[in-house]
Amino acid sequence: MTTQQTIDMGVPNPARAAPRPVRIEAAGLTDVGRVRAKNEDAYLIATLQRSMIVHDASPDAARGWVPGETAGTLLVVADGMGGQGSGEVASQVAVHTIVGYLLNVMPWASLKASEGLGRDSTPSLTGVRGELSTALVTGDSTVKAVGAQAGTPRMGTTLTMALVQWPILYVAHVGDSRGYVARGGQMHRLTTDHTVAEQIAERDPTLIDEGSAFHHMLWNSLGGGEEVARPELTKFLLEVGDVLLLCSDGLSKYVSEAAISEVLASGEPLAARSAKLVASANAAGGPDNVTVVIASIG
């Protein structure tokens, strides 16, 4: 299942000149892999945009859909927890709940740049990170409620979400799916794996090995546990030429960052790059569902 779209947005200009267009292209692909019987991953690529539908007006030509300015590009990857039952339901419920929440609460005002825009004076809309965090907590409670009603109270999902409000990238994250920015041949990882293995490695890397089962044990997810999810929030200043990647662990656990970086830097159409990454995961045995979403700023 693939999707691709292009969005034109304006660049906030410190000199207050007319904004120059920035083209954001995005593509996604999800695959069941070679071992699993069903695909429990989900992804979404969307443009957040305020709009108005005019049902009646004078003159009649004013009727119809009136678009407002774009509030950002939204990218989401979720990986349902198959071992807990109904993982595909958990991932879909989480995505739908979070997107619905954001549509109703996101600040719609334009991003305002200050004089001397730089890495130490990054513009931002007030409350964005707080609303992204609340969106994930809302997704957590909804997944738990749906699971309890369906008789699968332990179902859960990871979720990694990126909101591009040029030139700012916000990332909200729970679980072990990942977010990256590729720039100049280097991969910048934007998320932390919320696994028991990562917690142990932070204390002493010698206590954990690559084959440990702790790599598959999540301490933080949407649903799947009694504790409230603890979203991880990151803010990153983008540059023209950056390539964003969100992926489930079906890619990151079986394909090296060096190999991923090479594909992202290939310059091929994004749909082709997505297909190559999925093919690489399947060539490594395809033991898990694999999902990728790629976006380029150019």
**pLDDT: is 264 or 214 the higher one?**
264
49 pLDDT tier (thresholds 50, 70, 90): confident
67 pLDDT tier (thresholds 50, 70, 90): confident
- Residue-wise pLDDT for 71-81, tens only, equals 789 999 999 98
Cα distance between residue 79 and residue 73, in whole Å: 21
* 29 touches 1 (CB < 8 A): yes
The alpha carbon torsion through 156, 30, 187, 174 (nearest 10 deg) reads: -10
What element of type H or E holds 178? strand 178-183
Residue 20 has a pLDDT of: 58
What element of type H or E holds 6? strand 2-10
Cα distance between residue 247 and residue 242, in whole Å: 16
Residue 122 has a pLDDT of: 54
- Residue-wise pLDDT for 181-192, tens only, equals 999 999 999 999
- Residue-wise pLDDT for 147-205, tens only, equals 999 888 889 999 999 999 999 999 999 999 999 999 999 999 999 999 877 767 677 67
Q: Say how many C-beta atoms besides its own lie within 10 A of residue 265's C-beta.
A: 16
- Average the pLDDT over 9-25 and give the result: 56
**pLDDT: is 90 or 17 the higher one?**
90
* 49 touches 67 (CB < 8 A): yes
* 12 touches 123 (CB < 8 A): yes
- Residue 13 above 90 pLDDT? no
Find out whether the peptide bond into 269 is cis, omega within 30 degrees of 0. Answer: no
- Residue-wise pLDDT for 268-290, tens only, equals 999 999 999 999 999 999 999 99
- Residue-wise pLDDT for 114-133, tens only, equals 333 444 455 556 688 999 99
- Average the pLDDT over 25-49 and give the result: 95
What's 41-90 look like in SS3? Answer: EEEEEEEEEEEEEECCCCCHHHCEEEEEEEEEEEEEEEEECHHHCCHHHH
Reading the block at residue 256, the tokens are 């090296």
Please state, rounded to an integer, the average pLDDT across all residues of the chain.
85
Percent residues over pLDDT 90 in the chain: 61
How many residues in total does the chain contain? 298
Helices (H) and strands (E) in the chain, counts: 6, 12
Residue 216 has a pLDDT of: 72
- Residue-wise pLDDT for 211-236, tens only, equals 666 667 788 999 988 899 999 999 99
- Say which residue the tokens 């990857």 belong to: 77
The rounded Cα 95 to chain-centroid distance in angstroms is 10
Residue 232 has a pLDDT of: 97
Cα distance between residue 42 and residue 97, in whole Å: 13
Residue 196 has a pLDDT of: 77
47-56 burial string, b = 16+ CB within 10 Å, else e?
ebeeeeeeee
Whole-angstrom Cα Rg for the chain = 20
Nearest to 161 by CA among 106, 265, 231, 87: 231
Which structural domains are found in the chain, ordered by start?
A: 2-51+67-191+219-297 (3.60.40.10)
